[in-house]
Amino acid sequence: MKLPNDHQTIEAESFLAEKGALKGQVALRPAKGQKFPTTLLLEGNKALLQDYPVGTRFKLQVSLAQRPGGEDYLFTSWQWDARVLSQPGDEI
What is the pTM (predicted TM-score) of this model? Answer: 0.83
Q: What confidence tens digit (pLDDT) does each residue in 40-60 have?
A: 999 999 999 999 999 999 999
Q: What confidence tens digit (pLDDT) does each residue in 25-45 have?
A: 899 999 999 889 999 999 999
CATH number of 8-86: 2.40.50.140
Closest CA to 11 of 43, 46, 35: 35
Question: Which of 35-71 are b and which e, b meaning 16 or more Cβ less than 10 Å from the residue's Cβ?
Answer: ebeeebbbebbeebbeebeeebbbebbbbeeeeeeee
